[in-house]
Amino acid sequence: MKFFRIKGGVHPSHHKSTKDATTVVMGLPSKVVIPMVQHLGAPCQPLVKKGDTVKVGQVIGNTDAFVSAPVHASVSGTVTAVEPRIISGSRPILCVEIKPDGLQELDAIEPPVVTSKEDFLKAVRASGLTGLGGAGFPTHVKLNPPKDAKVDTLIINAAECEPYITSDYRECLENTAGIIEGIEHVLKWTGIPKAFIGIEDNKPDAVELLKKATMSKPNIEVVSLPSIYPQGAEKMLIYALTGRQVPPGKLPADAGCIVLNVTSVAFLANYIKTGMPLIKKRITVDGSAVKYPKNVEVLIGTPVGEVFEFCGGLKEEPGKLIMGGPMMGVALYSLELPVLKNTNALLALSEQEGKLPQETACIRCGRCVRACPMNLLPLEIDRLAKASQFDELNKYNIMDCIECGSCVFACPAKRLIVQSIRLGKDALRRASAKKQA
Ligand code: SF4
Ligand code: SF4
C-alpha cells in the first residue's frame, strides 16, 4: 500500500538495544502509589481511605466526568495514605498509597457483557484504559467522537519512533493475536469499516508477523512506514496513512480517523475476555546508566527506583532520569515517583549523555524550520518566548506545536526551543483563562 511522506522530521539514533528482550514480569513492589489523575481530563475522587483493605482490580478512584477514566488497585493490601503528592509539574495530585499484603487477592473480576456500541464504550471506560502510547487520553472518549464526525478509518499506532523504546514492538511480537482481536472488537462495535496498522520499517519481523496475522482480513492493512521521527505522532501517522491533514486545533475525528496505540487495542481484547482492568504495564528500562536493560511488566504505581533495582540497579549516578523517550519524555526528579498508566519507558542516562548542551546564539540556518513536521517557525517562536513577547506567539501558531523536539535535535546552536514553546503556551493559556474569568 502506498503511504504519504511526512514533512520534516529527523533521524536520531534508534538505541533499540532491548528489542530482543522478551518481557519479564517484576514481582510485588514494597508499595504502590496510584495518582487519581493519570490521564488528560478530570481527576478521579478517591473511593477509599487510609486503613481500608483493597483487592486487585478494585476501583479506588472514579468520577462522573466524561473525559476521565477510573483508577484501580494494582495490588491487594492496606491503604496507607490518601494525600496530595507532586508527581509531575508543580501541582500536587491526590494519590492513594497501598502496602501490598502479598496475597494478590482479586476483586470480583468478570468479563463485561458487550452486546451493543453503548455496552462497548461503557466497558472501555470501566477498564480504566487511557492511551498507553504516552498521551494518556481516555480511550472511551476517543471512540465516541462528535456525532457529525464521519469517521471511516481506525489507525493503530505501532510506529514507536522514539529512540530506546521497544515496549510496543514486544507487544507486536509477543501478542500478535491479541492486537488483531482488539482491532476487530473496535471495528465491530464502532462500525468503522477499515483499520490500518502503521509500523516503522526498522521492525521487519513485527511487520511480517502482523501481515501474516491479517492475511485473511481485508479490513485490516499493515503499512510499513519509513523510520523517521516523529512518524508516530498522531497527526503525522494520519497523514502518512491516509494523506489527510488534521486542521489546526481540530481532532483526528475531524479528518475521519481514530488513532489508538497498538498495546491499547491488545489490552482491550484481554479486558473483554477477562474483565481485568488496567493495573499493569510493559515498560522498556534502558539507558547507559542501567545495569541490565530489559522490557519489564510492572504493576502501576510501582516506584521507579524499584523498577531500576529489578534491572540490576544503576551502574553510576545518572545524569538524567526520564519517564518516556529522550525526545518527548519527562525528566524525573525522584526515584520514588510511580509508574503510571501511560509510562512506556524509564531511562537512566549517564552524566555525559544527560548533560544539557550549552545554548549559543541562533545562526538563522533554518534547520529547525526544515525539521519541523508542523510547518512552524521554531526559531521565531523561540526568540519571541525568550523575549517574553507572548502576545506575538499566536501569529506563529505556537499552539499547533506537538512538542516533538525535532527542531532542538536539528539545531546546531543547541537552542532549547521546546522549553521556550512550553513557556509560551503556558503564558497564552494563563492569559486566556484570565480573560474568561
Ligand atoms: S536551527 Fe537553531 S541556529 Fe538554526 S535557525 Fe533554528 S534555532 Fe537558529
Ligand atoms: S516547533 Fe514544535 S512541532 Fe515543530 S519541530 Fe519544534 S517541537 Fe516539533
Which residue's CA lies nearest to atom 3 of ligand 1?
362
Note the pLDDT tens digit of each residue in 352-361: 888 888 999 9
| pLDDT of 434 | 81
Note the pLDDT tens digit of each residue in 269-326: 999 999 999 999 999 999 999 999 999 999 999 999 999 999 999 999 999 999 999 9
Could you say which ligand is closest to the alpha carbon of residue 368?
1
- The rounded mean pLDDT for the chain is 94
Which residue's CA lies nearest to atom 1 of ligand 1?
411
Which residue's CA lies nearest to atom 5 of ligand 2?
372
Atom of ligand 2 nearest to the CA of 368: 5
Could you say which ligand is closest to the alpha carbon of residue 420?
2
Q: Which of 10, 234, 384, 404 to mutate to test the pocket of ligand 2 (most atoms within 8 A of CB)?
A: 404
Q: Ligand 2 centre from 376 Cα, in Å? A: 7
Atom of ligand 2 nearest to the CA of 378: 1
Q: Give the pocket of ligand 1 (CB within 6 Å).
A: 362-368, 378-379, 382, 410-413, 415
Could you say which ligand is closest to the alpha carbon of residue 233?
2
CA 316 to chain centre: 28
Extract the runs of DSSP E, i.e. beta strands, from 106-262. Answer: 153-157, 194-200, 220-225, 257-261
Residue 89's pLDDT band, with cuts at 50, 70 and 90, is low
Note the pLDDT tens digit of each residue in 377-420: 999 999 999 998 888 888 999 999 999 999 999 999 999 999 99
Q: Is residue 339 pLDDT above 80, yes or no?
A: yes
Which residue's CA lies nearest to atom 6 of ligand 1?
368
| pLDDT of 403 | 94
Spatial distance between the Cα atoms of 83 and 245, rounded to a whole number of angstroms? 43
Tell whether ligand 2 has an atom less than 6 A from the beta carbon of residue 403. Answer: yes
Note the pLDDT tens digit of each residue in 5-59: 999 999 999 999 999 999 999 999 999 999 998 878 889 999 999 999 999 999 9
Percentage of the chain beyond pLDDT 90 is 86
Please tell me the pTM assigned to this model. Answer: 0.94
Which stretch of DSSP H or E encloses residue 212? Answer: helix 204-213
Answer whether 426's CB lies under 8 Å from 433's CB: no
240 Cβ contact partners less than 8 Å away, ≥ 6 residues apart = 3, 4, 5, 6, 198, 223, 225, 231
Atom of ligand 1 nearest to the CA of 365: 4
Spatial distance between the Cα atoms of 410 and 418, rounded to a whole number of angstroms? 12
Q: Is residue 437 pLDDT above 80, yes or no?
A: no
SS3 of the chain: helix, strand, coil, percent, to 5: 30, 20, 50
Tell whether ligand 2 has an atom less than 6 A from the beta carbon of residue 402. Answer: yes
Which residue's CA lies nearest to atom 2 of ligand 2?
401
Q: Ligand 1 centre from 325 Cα, in Å? A: 23
Could you say which ligand is closest to the alpha carbon of residue 327?
2
Question: Which domains are assigned to the chain?
Answer: 117-274 (3.40.50.11540), 367-436 (no CATH)
What would the grid cell of residue 184 be?
Answer: 476487530
Note the pLDDT tens digit of each residue in 4-20: 999 999 999 999 999 99
